[in-house]
Amino acid sequence: MKIKRIAFGKNTLLLLTCVCMLFSCTKKNTLPHADNILFILVDDHALNMLSSYGGAHISTPNIDRIAENGYRFVNSFVANASAKPSLSTLLTGKHSHAHGVIDNTISSIPNNQNVLPELLRESGYKTALIGRWPFDNAPVGFDEWDIMKGDGDYYQPDFTDQNNQTIRHEGYSTNIITDLTIRWLEENKSKDAPFFLMTHHKAADRNRMPDIDHLDLFENMEFPVPDNFNDPYVERLGASSQEISIDRYLDLVFDLKLRNRNGSGILSDEYHRGMERLSSEQKSHWDRFYDEVCSEFDSEMTNQDTRYWKYQRFMRDYAKTLYSLDQNVGRILDYLKESGLDKNTTVIYTSLHGVFTGQHGWFSNGFMYEESMKTPLLIRFSSGTARKKTEIRQMVQNIDFAPTILDLLDMDIPSDMQGKSFLSAFRDSDAGDTSEKTLYYHYYEYPSLEMIRRHCGIRTPRYKLIHFYNDIDYWELYDLEKDPSEMTNLIDDAEKRTLVDELKQEMNKMQELYKDPIRVRINVVFNTLF
């Protein structure tokens, strides 16, 4: 067969080249690309406190900027809503039982396992961590660091670098972490090696102490009370046996800063230690503001009025810490643009876990319920892959973050990582088919300050099955389509018996897949586990 030669003019060739390029980009839907990676990690950021997720409580215009030219995941979850386990999962791509950090009592990430920053470093990336590092051991896999050990402090925090030099910085932690981040970027922007920089904020961790400059913000705002604020916990033993309810366990001194109350115990002691870090000028402003707050509290208020008052105080301080966080994310994004780093730096924003903001009457995290398990996830690629805000409905989990970043950089994903790359979601912006997806969750921290019973479970696109074990043996089932607030336990519904059996089988498959030992130990003495 002979191929007939065809002569093209220059304009025709140019046109055909453009058409081919357009076809290629359309076919691949413009694959994302990353050179540098800036990973912004925060704590306790609830979805309803982000305006990019439709939250009406406060505006977060700077964090929203990541989504405006990037991707917004609306079904991003964690595998264990506890700080140390969640961070370890993010770094290793494994569930808690596999990486060894099952709860916040664990002092370090066990050695001899793959961690994302180390893999990146071995491939030529410069790796750095700035901000919170909750473990006793040095950060794993990072070349450089400037960290607050443990939980850190909101005011005058101590930072320790890779040379083991510790410096106390004057000011507010969210501002300081941002200052250090921008300084590091400035010093490393012209280096030959690409970088992976993790900026890990303390905010908005309990006890949510605001920047002194923001004390007066939101004081005239009445935050709407969630519909299930007065949850009676009917036929939900797991939900009823906890110590995170606003009315009983939101500490007057530690959480609400009522210095004139007779607080005692570890929480009040921690509050007073934090107060010792205030400068005289900061303390003057603090006393002026919270003295007035103290005068508002009336011990003669009805129980319901007291609950409402506590809720408003909790939400106002929480909103103030998030306001600082949003401002400082804006500072980083502005620097990236001004320095030109935005052209070759991918920005990722997420939280260690979610938090209850009055739902079920709660103020903390830990449960497998949506507000605790679900997190924001915003990604903006350096290549400008998404020219406008793109919503991704695919269900993803923090065990998937490390594999996805490695896949993005065309690096091998270690076989011991249990998560799966969701890079394909970026190729298909309509990736909404989650019909085959099942997420596994396991929470261990009991007994503890918040007394949330140990539980494990699965979440499918429609249903959630939870098994509370340890000192109780109790099951819960929720239809998330009909009951998104998770108020009606269907476990004993006769019409759901077949479904329950199927979900229990699916849960057992997940435990087998991830080699969770709870599957084989579930019938032994529960309080001896781990």
Q: What is the DSSP string of 56-110?
A: -SS--HHHHHHHHTSEEEEEEE-SS-SHHHHHHHHHHSS-HHHHS--STT--S--
DSSP string, 421-473: --THHHH-TT----TT--EEEEE---SSSS-PPPEEEEE-SSEEEEEE-SS--
Q: How many residues does the chain have?
A: 530
**Which pLDDT does position 275 carry in this prediction?**
92
Domain of residue 502, CATH code: 3.30.1120.10
Same domain? 399 vs 490 = no
Same-domain check for residues 485 and 507: yes
pLDDT in tens, the chain (530 residues): 333 333 334 343 333 333 333 333 333 345 566 689 999 999 999 999 999 999 988 999 999 999 998 999 999 999 999 999 999 999 999 999 999 999 999 999 999 999 999 999 999 999 999 999 999 999 999 999 999 999 999 999 999 999 999 999 999 999 999 999 999 999 999 878 999 999 999 999 999 999 999 999 999 999 999 999 999 999 999 999 899 999 999 999 999 999 877 665 678 888 888 999 999 999 999 999 999 999 998 878 888 999 999 999 999 999 999 999 999 999 999 999 999 999 999 999 999 999 999 999 999 999 999 999 999 999 999 865 556 779 999 999 999 999 999 999 999 999 999 999 999 998 765 545 555 689 999 999 999 999 999 999 999 999 999 999 999 999 999 999 999 999 999 999 999 999 999 999 999 999 999 999 986 444 433 344 44
Distance of alpha carbon 500 from alpha carbon 506, whole angstroms: 10
Domain, as residue range, for 522: 439-528
Any domain includes 226: no
Strands, E assignment, 357-413 = 374-380, 390-392, 396-397
Residue 221 lies in a domain: no
Can you read off the two tokens belonging to residue 526? 């529960």
Helix, strand, coil shares, percent, the chain, to 5 = 35, 15, 45
pLDDT for the residue 32: 64
CA-wise closest residue to 451 among 236, 250, 241: 241
Quick one: pLDDT at residue 382?
A: 85
Same domain, 415 and 320: yes
Helix, strand, or coil here: 267?
Answer: helix
Residues 6+ apart with CB under 8 A from 97: 442, 514, 515, 516, 517, 518, 530
Same domain, 388 and 509: no
* Residue after which a domain boundary falls, among 368, 395, 427: 427
Which of 134, 316, 130 is CA-nearest to residue 209?
A: 316
- Structural tokens at position 524: 């032994």
Q: Are strands 463-468 and 455-459 parallel, antiparallel or unpaired?
A: antiparallel
DSSP-based three-state secondary structure for 224: coil
The domain boundary residue, chosen from 427, 452, 476: 427
- 461 and 515 co-located in one domain: yes
Question: Is 390 found in the same domain as 498?
Answer: no
Q: Find residue 146's DSSP bridge partners.
A: 130, 161
For residue 218, being part of any structural domain is answered with no
How many structural domains does the chain have? 2
Positions of E strands within 293-438: 345-351, 374-380, 390-392, 396-397
Contact 197, 351 (CB under 8 A): no
For residues 337 and 454, membership in a common domain is answered with no
Find the CATH number of the domain harbouring 360.
Answer: 3.40.720.10
Both 444 and 403 in a single domain? no
Quick check: is 203 in a domain? yes
Report CA 110 to chain centroid distance, whole Å. 22
State whether 325 and 454 are in the same domain: no
Contacts of 72 (CB under 8 A, 6+ apart): 52, 53, 377, 378, 389, 390, 391, 392
Peptide bond into 447 cis (omega under 30): yes
Residue 403 sits in the same domain as residue 448? no
Does 367 lie in the same domain as 474? Answer: no
- 222 is a domain residue: no
Any idea which residue has 């229990």 for tokens? 504
CB 110 within 8 A of CB 99: yes
In the chain, the N- to C-terminal Cα span, in Å, equals 72
Under 8 Å CB-to-CB from 168, ≥6 apart: which residues?
A: 156, 157, 158, 159
DSSP for residue 350: E
Q: Domain for residue 143, yes or no?
A: yes
Q: Can you tell me which residue has the tokens 């001194």?
A: 253
Structural domain contains residue 304: no
| Residue after which a domain boundary falls, among 397, 427, 457 | 427
Q: How do strand 439-443 and strand 396-397 relate by DSSP bridges?
A: unpaired
* Residues 63 and 185 placed together within one structural domain of the fold: yes
| SS3 call for 292 | helix
- Report if residue 114 sits inside a domain: yes
